[in-house]
Each structure stands twice: as C-alpha cells, then as structure tokens.
Amino acid sequence: MGDGRTVEAGAIGRREVVGINAFMGGRETTRTEYIVQLPGEAMKIAADPLMTEFNRNSEMRDLMLKYTQALIAQVSQNAACNRLDDMDERCARWLLEVRDRIESDRLPLTQEFIAEMLGVRRAGVTETALRLKEKGVIEYSRGHIEITDVQGLAVLSCECYMLLKEEYDRLLGITPVADQASRRPS
C-alpha cells in the first residue's frame, strides 16, 4: 500500500514461477514486490527466449497457463482467507504452505515476518503461535518455528489450505509423498 503496509498475495516455491507477466506480454507492475522468505536455489531465464518458447512449444505453453491458473486461484483464495478466516486458521494455513514449498517442518522465520505476510500486528502472531504451541502442533523459539504435528496443524487450518493444495495438484501434478502427510484425515 502507499503507506508501506503489506500482505502476502501469493507464494512461490519449488513448483512455481515468478514473473508470469513476461510470457503474457506485459511488464511487472511497480506495486508488486517479491520477497525472498528463505534461502534456496532458483533458475532464471530472460523474457525473450521464454516468449519464443512459449509461442513455439504447446506443452510449455499449456504448463505455463496451468501455473497461471493456479496462481490466480491462490491470489483469489488468499484474498478471501485474509478477509473471512480467523487468525489461528490463517496462520496454520500459511505455515503449511511454507512447509510445502520448502519441504521441511523447520521454518527459520520470525513472528514479525509472519505478521507482515499475513497483514496483521506482531502481537496477533505471538498470541496465535502460543495457542498453536499449546495445542501441540508447533514449537517455536526466536526466529524458528517447527511444525511438530502436520496433520493436527492441517485440522486447525482453514479450508483454504486444502482447496489450494488440491487445485495445485490437479493443475500441476500430485505433490511428493512427503507432502501427503499434510492431508486432512477423512
């Protein structure tokens, strides 16, 4: 926002891309900011060869359009979640989404950073983290959160987590076996 407030609209991880505007023929907006939450590896490609291949290769084009559809679903669901779901549910969803993207239960993240991503005050994240810890689904210390019960955290999450996970799996392929533990029990 113009006053510096932020909220995460979408997340990029191991099976996603950033900069879809490049193959859509547009340019990045000045209001979009990409923040690296955690260190990792990424590949970079110039826009021109990407556009050439997008126009030439129908399989690549189909994959990029499926990713675009998944991203639109994520942004839309996150907007609804940020407005309609309570803080505990939203935080549980967000932690699970980070876990899925980095394939680890150990998240080197501060509560201050989580608050910025969720668009809430840090005190709200502190209270939520305490409740999640008391329920036995996370442990935390300064700058580190560990998910100790993935299925329990999924049960506490809002419906948005599973809706998006299922949509991503439908569009981009089923996630690895490690992720299957995060599915809600039937």
Q: Which amino acid is at 130?
A: L
Q: Which amino acid is at 112?
A: E
Q: Identify whether 81 is part of a domain.
A: yes
Instruction: Burial-class residue 180 by CB neighbours within 10 Å (0-12, 13-18, 19+).
Output: exposed
Q: In CATH, what number is assigned to the domain containing residue 159?
A: 1.10.10.10
| Residue of 143, 154, 161 lying closest to 185 (CA atoms) | 154
Note down pLDDT in tens along the chain; length 186 residues: 677 777 777 777 777 777 777 767 666 555 667 777 777 788 888 888 888 888 999 998 998 899 889 888 988 898 888 888 899 999 999 999 999 888 899 999 999 989 988 888 999 999 999 999 999 999 999 889 999 999 999 999 999 999 999 998 999 887 654 444 444 443
The predicted model scores a pTM of 0.80
If one counts the domains in the chain, the total is 1
Q: Identify whether 125 is part of a domain.
A: yes
Report the sign of the C-alpha dihedral through residues 42, 46, 49, 52, in that order.
positive
Q: Identify whether 5 is part of a domain.
A: no
Q: Identify whether 71 is part of a domain.
A: yes
Domain of 147 in residue numbering reads as: 21-180
What number of other Cβ atoms are within 10 A of residue 132's Cβ?
A: 24
Q: Identify whether 16 is part of a domain.
A: no
Q: Identify whether 88 is part of a domain.
A: yes
